[in-house]
Structures are given as C-alpha cells and as structure tokens.
Amino acid sequence: MKLLEGKVALITGGSRGIGAAIALRFAQQGADVAFTYHSSEEKAKAVEAELAAQGIKAKAYRSDAASYAAAEALINVVLEDFGRLDVLVNNAGITQDTLMLRMTEEQWDRVIETNLKSVFNLTKYALRPMMKNKGGAIINMSSVVGITGNAGQANYAASKAGIFGFTKSIAKEMGSRNIRCNAVAPGFIETDMTHVLDEKTKEAYLQAIPLKRLGRAEEVADLCVFLGSELATYISGQVISVCGGMTT
Ligand code: NAP
C-alpha cells in the first residue's frame, strides 16, 4: 500500500524546485496531484506529464497564490476536477533580497503577499472541503530563516516567521475537525532560489551545516509525504526543520 493512496493533494508552486519534488513524491506514493505555477507554463506541463506517468491523475493550474480571489477560484476548480481535497501544501514562495535601508515598499509587499498571504488565501478555501471530508492535512513551507532571521532578508524572514504563528493557530482551531496543520522549515536546498546566491554566501552556509552539504528538494518532499500521510495522524501544530542540522 502506498502512503498517499486515495488522497487528493494540492501543491502551490509545483512547477520547479521543492514543489515539483513534492508533487512527484506524492504521485509516487499514489496521490492524485493538482498543482499550481505562476509563469513557468512549459515546466508545469512537463511536471504534469511526469506525474501522470506514475499512473495517477495530475493537473497543473496557472494561479497566483498571492491573490485571494484566485485562491477561491482555484479550490473550486480543483474540487470540480478531483472531487475532494485531502492535503494542501502551501509551497509557493519568492525572495526579493536587499538590505533594510534599500528595501522598497513593493519588495516588502510582494514577498509578504506571495509567501504569507498566500497561506491564508489557500487555507481559507481548503478548510470547508476538508471539514466535509472529516479530516485533512495542511503543510506550510516556511524556512529556517523564519527561526534565525537573516541580514538582507527582512521581508522573507518575516513572511516565513509569520507562517509559524498561522500554522499553530490553525492547528488549534481545526484540531477538533481532524484537520492537522504543520510547517516545514528547510535549510539551504539546491533549487533555482539558491542558485542565484554567490559562492562566498554558499561557502558561509556550508560552514554552518553539520552535514556539510546542501539539501535536496526530495529530502524536503519526503517529510511532506510523511506529514500528509496516515503515519502522522497525531502530529499537528509543529515546525519541523529539514536543514542538515543547521539550526541545532
Ligand atoms: P523555486 O525553485 O524558486 O520555485 C518556486 C515555485 O513557486 C515555482 O513553482 C513558482 O512558479 C512558484 N511561485 C512563485 N510565485 C508564485 C505565485 N505568486 N503563485 C503561484 N506560484 C508561485 O523555489 P524553491 O526553492 O523550490 O522554494 C519553494 C518553497 O520553499 C518556497 O516557499 C521557499 O521560500 C521555501 N524554501 C526554499 C529554500 C531553499 O533553499 N531553496 C529554503 C527554505 C525555504 P513559476 O515556476 O511559475 O515561477
């Protein structure tokens, strides 16, 4: 028996990086997978085909996670297409790094809206179908930067720390409905998001990682499989790091 057999999952930002790895791992574990992207249509179509090759139902949707109206429309169309929703992974995220003295209002707003408001948007509309199913799992992608802070990432760190409070509150509000809500805090994972960092910054991160290597997107995805599965039915309101020991 596969770990996610019979479940329908929605993953935001599934066209690349960690989200694409989660989508594939979910499909390999038998889940039907709906996922979103913002602009990478070609990549999304390629992921969709890769998922369908696992013998499950898969569909990519173009949808801006930062938009409240788009979240409602998305959940409605996913319910029409898939019939139910068991697992929501709020993964979509961006960085717009700069020091505080140079940060513009637009850079602050765009990162908070994409990384934090999106979690509100999707959770808001996912709760009703989950209540109807008498259960569900919500997994919010945060970051170790939400725990530690990081110079040049005040907007990003604030968005990721905000996810902690949101996650714990939803866990408390929705626990009696058998809806679990957890946050995952990856460390330094090899994706497009970290490829843009210069060698000096990467070397500094490596020094701070006990396992002395960057993480792989699949290693984050494996935790999401666990949290979305029946192996984690008594785990809610937690922040779990996947960081090679970085925040220890
Ligand atoms: P990535 O490779 O840059 O991929 C980001 C994904 O999010 C893409 O699928 C992108 O879609 C999607 N996205 C961006 N803005 C969106 C929007 N407004 N609406 C819908 N989708 C949107 O990033 P990643 O490294 O995989 O990161 C995934 C998550 O993990 C993020 O929340 C990030 O903050 C978090 N994280 C990453 C690391 C790391 O080291 N990589 C560490 C800690 C936390 P398009 O392809 O269409 O642009």
At residue 1, the pLDDT reads: 86
181, β-bridge pairs = 138
In the structure, which protein residues have their CB atom closer than 6 angstroms to any atom of ligand 1?
12-19, 36-40, 43, 64-66, 91-94, 114, 141, 143, 186, 188-189, 191-194
**Dmax of the chain from CA atoms?**
54
Q: Flag whether 17 is in a domain.
A: yes
Let me know the angle formed at the C-alpha of 159 by 70 and 187, rounded to the nearest 5 degrees.
Answer: 115
CA 199 – ligand 1 centroid, Å: 21
Q: Say if residues 85 and 78 touch (Cβ distance below 8 Å).
A: yes
Q: Flag whether 3 is in a domain.
A: no
pLDDT tens-digit series, residues 208-222: 999 999 999 999 999
- Set 125, 156, 205, 234: catalytic member: 156
pLDDT tens-digit series, residues 100-132: 999 999 999 999 999 999 999 999 999 999 999
Domains: count for the chain? 1
62: three-class secondary structure by DSSP: strand
pLDDT tens-digit series, residues 53-65: 999 999 999 999 9
CA 197 – ligand 1 centroid, Å: 15
CA 145 – ligand 1 centroid, Å: 15
What's the alpha-carbon Rg for the chain, to the nearest Å?
17
Q: Flag whether 168 is in a domain.
A: yes
CA 131 – ligand 1 centroid, Å: 28
Let me know the angle formed at the C-alpha of 101 by 95 and 106, rounded to the nearest 5 degrees.
Answer: 45
Q: Residue 76 belongs to what domain range? A: 8-242
What is the model's pTM?
0.98
Task: Please name the amino acid found at residue 18.
Answer: I
Q: Flag whether 12 is in a domain.
A: yes
Report how far apart, in Å, the C-alpha atoms of 84 and of each of 1, 66, 127, 147, 241 are: 20, 23, 11, 34, 29
Cβ neighbors of 133 (< 8 A, separation 6 or more) are 84, 85, 86
Give the pLDDT band (50/70/90) at residue 196.
confident
Q: Flag whether 224 is in a domain.
A: yes
pLDDT of 197 > 90? The answer is no
Give the pLDDT band (50/70/90) at residue 90.
very high
Q: Flag whether 247 is in a domain.
A: no
Can you point out the beta strands (E) in the chain?
A: 8-11, 32-37, 58-62, 87-90, 136-141, 179-186, 239-242
Nearest CA to ligand 1 atom 23: 193
Q: Say if residues 95 and 156 touch (Cβ distance below 8 Å).
A: yes
- Identify whether 156 is a catalytic site residue: yes
Q: Say if residues 86 and 7 touch (Cβ distance below 8 Å).
A: yes
Q: Flag whether 2 is in a domain.
A: no
Q: Flag whether 1 is in a domain.
A: no
Does residue 177 or residue 198 have the better pLDDT?
177
> CATH no. for residue 114?
3.40.50.720
